[in-house]
């Protein structure tokens, strides 16, 4: 456990002090114990953080440093994350209750993200475009100023690094609003940025309620871009505010991703992939493969294997290296998942496995829920269309590839999809026809920082990651550099 006393300070324009808002407790989802006490940021803190960020952006010289000099600081941040990796992984486990094996991977991914964007920064090329007149034309990029980053609770350190690293690499200042219930990783990251030599003021972390702090950040005239990860409803609210400011936003939102198991799939691989796709991170994952379509001819045996696999998953103490599924984030969120399961049953679904809280001393105080599979629904049921964000899979048989594609694409979301088949032509055909930002073929939920990520439709706007991820945080500018030996012809004859 971390030290409960004194109250955690927050980071406002490079200064550490207590927030001006209400005192609140951060709880460990596995036991409900208090792991940290802190004051939320106040609206005055928001103002101070943004004004301080703007000053640091204009006066610290960060934006004017050569790209390789900014990169050097980012490499140091990556090195410090690695140096402190075990402490960060334990902190993240306490903050959101994910199993320690997963939080170690998230910390490694955060370090890799800083390393990658350091490299992207020092190798970013600006171009001389083909000239069509007596001028040289160039396309260059400029930082934007103060960027607001707003993140959810499900993978804090990784999603926060995914915004901080490219935004800082691009030369901006960042004001980060982590989810109210998971403030600790963001605060630890801010400390690392400062320890690595980032000029003070360029990073602030403002824990507190999104409807207050996040809203004020989004509306502030000095904030030039919002990078948001969270629910679709919140994303649309932010996008409306951004429209009035004509401010660019990027949105990583929800999903209801289909997984397709075809007749020629390797069943062992498909079972393992589907289990991992939906139940890892307790299903609290935007890319969870939560809608399963299995060819009718293999549906019964496949579901037999899948249900047995789900029932055998090790749900339990997140500190135990063998645990595969930890608790859900809060008591309220578990109730929301339970309501969805009830809804599915009311809609005519049948419970294949799970659908209850696990029993036993280890589960008594935490927000645990068993891996759940529901069958017998059609794709237009609410449980098949709405994001549960928990360990709940809906499974449906399909008869033809045509019907399969239609149903898989019939969703307001289009974040990710999975295909299990050994037929490479079919994989290609379906992979191209599925409407989703990411399609996994014979694998699921694998990530590379070098590969763009984002959603279509209600799943989002813009792309994070990939070399071009840095450009989300820059404005493009064209330069025309005249070479004329004579005055411009239009007015030139007047003298
Ligand atoms: P929310 O949209 O409720 O919250 C996300 C963040 O936005 C939190 O920091 C929240 O603060 C803040 N927020 C809430 N209201 C406002 C507002 N009016 N203005 C500005 N900020 C606000 O989502 P959840 O935290 O419940 O996260 C789960 C959602 O995130 C799921 O839908 C999931 O699919 C999506 N997600 C998407 C990912 C992607 O990459 N596509 C990755 C991970 C999650 P507070 O903590 O106070 O609520």
Structural domains in the chain, sorted by start: 10-253+459-479 (3.40.605.10), 258-441 (3.40.309.10)
Distance 416 CA to ligand 1 centre (A): 18
- The answer to whether the CB of 17 falls within 8 A of the CB of 84 is no
Q: Is the CB of 214 under 6 A from ligand 1?
A: yes
**pLDDT tens by residue, 242-297:** 999 999 999 999 999 999 999 999 999 999 999 999 999 999 999 999 999 999 99
pLDDT of res. 489: 85
464 is catalytic: yes
Our mutation pick for probing the ligand 1 site, out of 210, 282, 286, counting the most ligand atoms within 8 A of Cβ, is: 210
pLDDT of res. 6: 75
Q: Is the CB of 219 under 6 A from ligand 1?
A: no
Instruction: Find the catalytic residue in 286, 384, 387, 465.
Output: 286
| pLDDT mean across residues, the chain | 96
Query: With bands split at pLDDT 50, 70 and 90, how would you rate the model's confidence at 376?
Result: very high
Distance 153 CA to ligand 1 centre (A): 7
Q: Is the CB of 413 under 6 A from ligand 1?
A: no
Which atom of ligand 1 sits closest to the CA of residue 217?
20
Average pLDDT (85-94) is 97
- Report which protein residue has its CA nearest ligand 1's atom 3: 231
Residue 494 has pLDDT above 90, yes or no: no
Our mutation pick for probing the ligand 1 site, out of 46, 183, 209, 230, counting the most ligand atoms within 8 A of Cβ, is: 230
Which atom of ligand 1 sits closest to the CA of residue 208?
47
142 is catalytic: no
Residue 2 has pLDDT above 60, yes or no: no
**pLDDT tens by residue, 125-147:** 999 999 999 999 999 999 999 99
pLDDT of res. 490: 85
Report the side by side order of strands in the sheet with 438-441: 350-353, 372-375, 392-398, 291-295, 258-261, 416-420, 438-441
Distance 228 CA to ligand 1 centre (A): 8
pLDDT of res. 491: 83
pLDDT of res. 495: 55
Hey, is 281 helix, strand or coil?
Answer: helix
Residue 240 has pLDDT above 70, yes or no: yes
Q: Is the CB of 170 under 6 A from ligand 1?
A: no
Residue 425 has pLDDT above 70, yes or no: yes
Backbone φ and ψ for 484, nearest 5 degrees, come out as -60, 135
pLDDT of res. 300: 97
| H-state helical runs in 136-179 | 156-169
Q: Which of 212, 168, 208 is nearest to 77 (CA)?
A: 168
Total-model pTM: 0.96
Q: Is the CB of 407 under 6 A from ligand 1?
A: no
Angle at 433 between CA 432 and CA 434, to 5 degrees: 95
Task: Tell me the C-alpha distance between 224 and 226, whole Å.
Answer: 7
pLDDT of res. 4: 53
Helix 184-195 and helix 67-83, axial crossing angle in degrees, nearest 10: 130
252 is catalytic: yes
Map tokens 């030139």 to a residue.
492
Instruction: Find the catalytic residue in 163, 177, 256, 445.
Output: 163
Average pLDDT (411-439) is 98
Distance 179 CA to ligand 1 centre (A): 7
Average pLDDT (447-473) is 96
pLDDT of res. 297: 95
């Amino acid at each position: 456990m971390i030290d409960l006393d004194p109250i955690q300070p927050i980071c406002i324009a490079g200064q550490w002090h207590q927030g001006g808002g209400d005192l609140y407790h951060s709880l460990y989802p596995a036991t409900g114990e208090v792991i940290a006490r802190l004051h939320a940021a106040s609206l005055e803190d928001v103002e101070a953080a943004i004004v301080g960020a703007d000053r640091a952006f204009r006066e610290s010289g960060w934006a004017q440093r050569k790209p390789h000099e900014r990169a050097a600081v980012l490499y140091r941040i990556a090195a410090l994350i690695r140096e402190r990796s075990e402490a960060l992984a334990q902190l993240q486990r306490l903050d959101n209750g994910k199993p320690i094996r997963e939080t170690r991977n998230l910390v490694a991914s955060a370090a890799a993200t800083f390393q990658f964007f350091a490299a992207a920064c020092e190798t970013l090329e600006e171009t001389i475009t083909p000239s069509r007149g007596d001028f040289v034309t160039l396309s260059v990029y400029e930082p934007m100023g103060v960027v607001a980053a707003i993140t959810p609770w499900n993978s804090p350190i990784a999603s926060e690094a995914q915004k901080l690293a490219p935004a800082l690499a691009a030369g901006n200042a960042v004001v980060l609003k982590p989810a109210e219930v998971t403030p600790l990783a963001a605060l630890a990251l801010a400390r690392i940025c400062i320890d690595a030599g980032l000029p003070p003021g360029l990073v602030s972390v403002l824990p507190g309620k999104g409807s207050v702090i996040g809203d004020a950040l989004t509306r502030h005239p000095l904030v030039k871009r919002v990078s948001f990860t969270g629910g679709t409803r919140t994303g649309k609210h932010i996008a409306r505010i951004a429209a009035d400011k004509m401010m660019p936003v990027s949105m990583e939102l929800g999903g209801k991703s289909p997984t397709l198991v075809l007749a020629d799939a390797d069943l062992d691989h498909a079972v393992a992939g589907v289990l991992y796709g939906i139940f890892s991170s307790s299903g609290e994952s935007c890319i969870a493969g939560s809608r399963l379509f299995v060819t009718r001819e293999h549906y019964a045996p496949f579901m037999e294997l899948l249900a047995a696999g789900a029932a055998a998953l090790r749900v339990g103490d997140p500190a135990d290296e063998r645990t595969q599924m930890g608790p859900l984030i809060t008591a309220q969120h578990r109730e929301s998942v339970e309501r969805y399961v009830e809804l599915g049953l009311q809609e005519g679904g049948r419970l294949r496995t799970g659908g209850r809280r696990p029993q036993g001393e280890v589960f008594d105080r935490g927000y645990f829920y068993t891996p759940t599979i529901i069958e017998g629904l059609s794709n237009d049921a609410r449980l098949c269309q709405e994001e549960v964000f928990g360990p709940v899979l809906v499974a449906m048989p399909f008869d033809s590839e045509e019907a399969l594609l239609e149903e898989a694409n019939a969703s307001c979301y289009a974040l990710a999809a999975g295909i299990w088949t050994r037929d490479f032509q079919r994989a290609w055909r379906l992979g191209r026809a599925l409407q989703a930002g990411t399609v996994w073929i014979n694998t699921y939920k694998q990530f590379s920082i070098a590969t763009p990520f984002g959603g279509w439709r209600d799943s989002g706007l813009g792309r994070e990651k990939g070399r071009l991820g840095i450009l989300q945080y820059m404005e493009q500018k064209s330069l025309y550099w005249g070479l004329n030996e004579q005055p411009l012809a239009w007015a030139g004859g007047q003298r």
